[in-house]
Amino acid sequence: MKALTANRLTDGEVVFWKAGHWVERFANAQLWTDDDPAAIETEGQGKAQATVVIDVYLIDLVESEGLWAPLSYRERIRALGPTNHPHHGKQAEGGAVIEALQHAHGAARSTGRVNLIKRK
């Protein structure tokens, strides 16, 4: 499965695509199967929203405790918040999806991020 993520332009908040708009919680993200061409099409739509978001890319998901979680550790930290401050970021809200993300194990980088690797 895949989801589409970005950072919101005005505040840098991590956001996920859901049916034409961007939501803050991964739990509300729209998901696509790996072979669904709509994912790529939607990525294009997301990138076109240049005054709303930046760094738009698809992330791979993995099943965790019966729910979906980002495969890569980096993406789980984005969806949760920093591990040194459990009260900062989205993890502070708690809930089943947050817990599933916290317990997830993955073994790969996000495929879509390769084009975005930034330089200092």
The DSSP secondary structure of 10-74, one letter per residue, reads: TT--EEEEETTEEES-GGG---B-TT-HHHHHHHHHHHT-TTTEEEEEEEEEEEETTEEEESSHH
Compose the 40-69 pattern: x for residues touching another protein by CB under 8 A, - for all others. ----------xx--xx--------------
Q: Kindly tell me which of 39 and 56 has the beta carbon lying closer to another protein.
A: 56
Q: How many of the chain's residues bind another protein (CB under 8 A)?
A: 31
Residue 119 token pair: 């330089």
Largest CA distance in the chain: 38
Nearest distance, CB of residue 35 and another protein, angstroms = 22
Query: In this structure, how many other beta carbons lie within 10 angstroms of the beta carbon of residue 58?
Result: 21
- Is there binding between residue 21 and another protein (CB under 8 A)? no
120 binds another protein per the rule CB under 8 A: yes
The whole-angstrom separation of Cα 52 and Cα 106 is 30
CB of 100 to another protein, least distance (A): 18
Element (H, E) at 107: none
Q: Does 83 bind another protein (CB under 8 A)?
A: yes
For another protein, the closer CB: 14 or 39: 14
Binding stretches for another protein (CB under 8 A): 7, 9-14, 50-51, 54-55, 71-74, 77-78, 81-85, 88-89, 106-109, 118-120
